[in-house]
Amino acid sequence: MAVSSCPCLKLFVASSFECRSDSSSGTDQPSQGRFNSARHGTTPFLSGTGMSSLILKFPPNFVRQLSTKARRNCSNIGVAQIVAASWSNNSASGAPSAAAAAAAAAAAASAIPAADPADVLAGNEYKSFLSSDGSIAVHAGERLGRGIVTDAITTPVVNTSAYFFKKTQELIDFKEKRHASYEYGRYGNPTTQVLEDKISELEGAESTLILASGMCASTVLLLALVPAGGHLVTTTDCYRKTRIFMETFLPKMGITVTVIDPADVKALESALEINKVSLFFTESPTNPYMRCVDIELVSELCHRKGALVCIDGTFATPLNQKALALGADLILHSATKFIGGHNDVLGGCISGSTKLISEIRNLHHVLGGTLNPNAAYLIIRGMKTLHLRVQQQNSTALRMAKILEEHPKVCIL
Ligand SMILES: Cc1ncc(COP(=O)(O)O)c(C=O)c1O
């Protein structure tokens, strides 16, 4: 039975797409644990769950070359392939060449710290493997964390508008919150959720909401968090359409706006003094002049007066700036830019506490600016190279800045 309405629940289901059970582990079960984590409202990474079912064939001495953890680790599929290829090229000897095996073992050892059985037992195996932003951008949310279990390395695109319940009781259990499930495409999708979990990991956020565009993200956020008749502070340097929404549409709900210079802390303090400010919304760095806000300082000032802080960090990416760690309540990105990275997809995301994101999510479910699962897949795909692109962009920008600084025809005003 497919169901198409329920305004209240956002529970996400475990596997309904199991490809192959793993008789050796006996744990390749629907990932119910996914729904129980305090951090995300989900448990994104399932230690040991069905992991060995994800590893394909190993040559005979591969097992001896790598630690248990390394063998199980998805990144070692590549290592396994190198060894397997060398093994099959060398089939006369029936074993991988010593050099290839040693190289594979070294690669595995440098890629992944040695297995700590306590980690495995404590369920930290996958998390400890996500030790850098690069690893997080590539792996977080996927394979071991996603609700769908298949043998595919890539996250499947689930093109569906609604979801099955196997029997009426299952639906009743879902409605009464005893059974976790997706329900309807506007309320959640397994592909999209992988992307949300990935961005949460990068931002260090409890929860992330992904929407159809960056503008969709900022407009829904503003509508959800600033009450009718409320007051908002923003900055002079700001993406034009965001300003247009604030100055043209929000006044229809009696919402007023103070616009300050991004560096003018005094103006912020006075706006906070004079008005009952609900939210300070600013880009950092700003579009187009790349001005940065002291996130720590403005968060402290706003919090003292009970105002929330949202940073549009599109130009920084989640790699160059961790706005939540600096004290902001919410971080927003136009995923259309660096996160997607290939000019082939639009998207927007907001990360923060489960409480705030749920408030925004509730309105999003009504307004319906849902990201298509195909677009979610493209963003996930784009994020595989996010850390490499950002590194390159950073070094190119630095080189350009140095060249311009030294250029005789360029002066600092
Ligand atoms: C800083 C910033 N925020 C938000 C947006 C809006 O994002 P989107 O184009 O994905 O709607 C843009 C677009 O250029 C932007 O530069």
Residues of the chain with pLDDT > 70: what percent? 67
CA of 341 to the centre of ligand 1 (A): 13
Taking only the tens place, the pLDDT of each residue in 351-384 is: 999 999 999 999 999 999 999 999 999 999 999 9
* CA dist., res. 328 & res. 73, Å (int): 34
State in Å: Cα 169 to ligand 1 middle.
44
For 113-133, the pLDDT digits (tens) are 333 434 433 445 556 678 899
Q: What are residue 257's DSSP bridge partners? A: 232
Q: Collapse the DSSP code of 117 into the 3-class scheme (helix H, G, I; strand E, B; otherwise coil) and give the result.
A: helix
Closest Cα to atom 7 of ligand 1:
214
Is the Cβ atom of 283 under 6 angstroms away from ligand 1?
A: yes
Contacts of 253 (CB under 8 A, 6+ apart): 228, 229
312 lines ligand 1 (CB under 6 A): yes
Residues 368 and 184 sit within 8 Å (Cβ to Cβ): no
Mean pLDDT in residue range 87-112: 36
pLDDT of residue 143: 72
Q: Which atom of ligand 1 is nearest to the CA of 287?
A: 1
Is 287 within 8 Å of 238 (Cβ atoms)?
Answer: yes
* Spacing, Cα 215 to ligand 1 middle (Å): 6
Check pocket membership of 334 for ligand 1, CB cut-off 6 A. yes
Q: What's the gap in Å between 334 CA and the centre of ligand 1?
A: 5
Identify which of 284, 287, 378 to mutate to test ligand 1's pocket (most ligand atoms within 8 A of the CB).
287
pLDDT tens digits, 249-304: 999 999 999 999 999 999 999 999 999 999 999 999 999 999 999 999 999 999 99
Q: Domains of the chain, with CATH numbers?
A: 11-111 (no CATH), 133-155+194-391 (3.40.640.10)
Q: What is the distance in A from the centroid of ligand 1 to the CA of 53?
A: 41
